[in-house]
Amino acid sequence: MKVKCLGAIRTVTGSCFQLENPKGGLTLIDCGLFQGGRQTELRNFNTALYRPEATKAIVITHAHMDHSGLVPRLVQAGYSGPVYATEATCDLLPILWQDAANIQEQEAQWKTRKNKRQGGKGVSPLYDREAAERAANLLRPLKMGGQDEIQPGVSISCLTAGHILGAASLRLTVSEDDGPKHLLFSGDLGRKGQLLIEDPAIPPRSDVIFMETTYGNRLHKDLDKTIDELVKVIQEAYREGGKILIPTFAVERTQELMVLLAQAWHEKRIPQDIPIILDSPLAISASEVYLSHPELYDAETRSLVKKGHGPMSIASLKVTRTGEESQKINDIKGPAIIMAGSGMANAGRILHHFKHNLWRPNCHVIFVGFQAQGTTGRRLIEGATSVKIFREEVLVKAKVHTLGGFSGHADQRELLEWLGPQIHPDLLVVLVHGEESGTLAFQEKLAELHPDLNTLVPRWLDTLSLPPKAAIPAPERPPFTTEPIMVDALAVEAQSFQNRLERLKGQLTGRQEPLSPEKLALLEELLNRAEEIALSL
């Protein structure tokens, strides 16, 4: 049995694991988008690597785009098999895929216009809305806690992961000549006592566990203290007359915040007249899915809903679906709480609110989730004094807050508690879905606590041969030249840089006077830096 690591390896995005079925055919466990910097996102165009023509089934742990967002790309490339997920995940995915396709089409149109003005070629979207619709038609719901055969000799059980609505850990039973083997893919694990949904379930023992390590080197703040901090920021911004901008993930974090804000509003801990605006069509639609699945709520949330304190019960709440409604938010004078996508501030309506408010000293920005490297959110929490938004440099005078207690991911202690009951002498734990520093720190912690436990931190494109009794396997790494080349995306990018250099050359040769020594030195320094980057690619 072999598993190829196609994503979420020493990074937190692009989750995908390719299982080679001993009886023939491939199964993909998750099929997520790479998110972050330009070079990372180019991996999304490398469709041949996923072998859609040989893939017989795709199974999705949960609806977040870094675990599911590449499925329409594979469908566009010819995949037509089933896409399995829990019932709630099947309700969420069509909404998310259509939104992503719309963004991809808009970005491709903008890049095409820009390239053609510079003499370049047109750009195709990663996938279009038709592909998203065809992907949605392939969805096949799985029961949480049930067991289903998804391929000959491969059956799967979904266990509550406690991360977002419908999120599951997947336990695969694979028939082999010497008996069945059990592989567990943790998916993203939630926290104990998290709002809205049940705690993560502890699965039965497995032979191999692919375990997430997003917060493998960190402990979260106490949730009650985090709620107090949120209330304090709202009160401070209200006194100052400033806006509170919350970049939020459409699925789970928005709904969790809505529950907390409703509770604080009913308890009169926040001003009763402060406008609370949910400015995200995607989050509004996702919230409607949440409201349709009360059977997945935890006991605390069911009690709040019963008292009339549900997530949409705030008198001053307003939802804005259309672009015109969103633009009118800029006309609001005085304080307001504005929740808008995207959660890492790398796209979406939150950027418009940043452009209008980041430079204001009485503005407060609250980050309530993980910020990947290369995103605008990451730059802000690291103290950037200005950020580029819509090709315009915007000064950062706003107060930036990071409220870690809202995380939907288990921290180091909670990860250890989840893994502990599953440890046995023959277990292999493959550590994935974490930035390299966090994953390696978690591996060190496991070695300290469980010195006899076999662990492995693979690299991107490693193929793991998993024997009957788990020992640390030697990864099969393809030669550098075998990786499919993303010809179209790379060609467009190279052409764009070439056009810019040609334009710079024309501007310099057309000057009537030489550059000043200071400007010449600066230009030479920038060109040297560009050469260093090019050589490191």
pLDDT confidence of residue 504: 64
pLDDT > 50? residue 475: yes
pLDDT confidence of residue 492: 38
Name which of 184-193, 218-227, 307-316 the model is least confident about: 307-316
Average pLDDT, the chain: 88
Give the gyration radius of the chain's Cα atoms. 24
Say which DSSP state 264 is in.
H
Global confidence as pTM: 0.80
Backbone angles phi, psi at 295, to 5 degrees: -65, -15
pLDDT > 70? residue 484: no
Tokens 């349709």 map to which residue?
292
Handedness of CA 412, 228, 370, 276 (dihedral sign): positive
Tokens 């202690």 map to which residue?
413
Identify which of 296-300, 313-317, 417-421 has the greatest average pLDDT: 417-421
Q: Is the Cβ–Cβ distance between 251 and 92 less than 8 Å?
A: yes
Tell me whether strands 147-151 and 139-142 are parallel, antiparallel or unpaired: unpaired
Say which DSSP state 326 is in.
H
pLDDT > 80? residue 377: yes
pLDDT > 80? residue 311: no
Average pLDDT of the residues in 436-445: 96
Q: Report d(CA 405, CA 99) in Å as an integer.
A: 28
pLDDT confidence of residue 512: 57
pLDDT > 80? residue 385: yes
Tell me whether strands 364-367 and 399-402 are parallel, antiparallel or unpaired: parallel
Name which of 245-249, 417-421, 428-432 the model is least confident about: 245-249
pLDDT > 50? residue 483: no
Average pLDDT of the residues in 215-230: 90
pLDDT confidence of residue 371: 86
Q: Shortest CA distance to 428 belongs to which of 459, 463, 453?
A: 453
Q: Report d(CA 403, CA 364) in Å as an integer.
A: 12
pLDDT confidence of residue 137: 98
Q: Report d(CA 416, CA 410) in Å as an integer.
A: 9
pLDDT > 50? residue 493: no
Tell me whether strands 139-142 and 83-86 are parallel, antiparallel or unpaired: parallel
pLDDT confidence of residue 119: 87
pLDDT > 70? residue 530: no
pLDDT in tens, 18-54: 999 877 789 999 999 998 777 888 899 999 999 999 9
Q: Shortest CA distance to 8 belongs to which of 30, 37, 39?
A: 30
Q: Shortest CA distance to 321 belongs to which of 346, 285, 350?
A: 285
User: Percentage of residues in the chain with pLDDT exceeding 90?
Assistant: 67
Average pLDDT of the residues in 371-377: 86
pLDDT confidence of residue 415: 98
pLDDT > 50? residue 242: yes
pLDDT in tens, 117-133: 888 888 899 999 999 99
pLDDT in tens, 163-204: 999 999 999 999 888 889 999 999 999 998 888 899 999 999
Q: What is the band of 449 on the pLDDT scale with cuts at 50, 70, 90?
A: very high
3-state secondary structure 408-449: CCCEHHHHHHHHHHHCCCCCEEEEECCCHHHHHHHHHHHHHH
Q: What is the band of 240 on the pLDDT scale with cuts at 50, 70, 90?
A: very high
pLDDT in tens, 199-220: 999 999 999 999 999 999 999 8
pLDDT confidence of residue 497: 54
Interhelix angle 487-509/87-117, nearest 10 degrees:
30
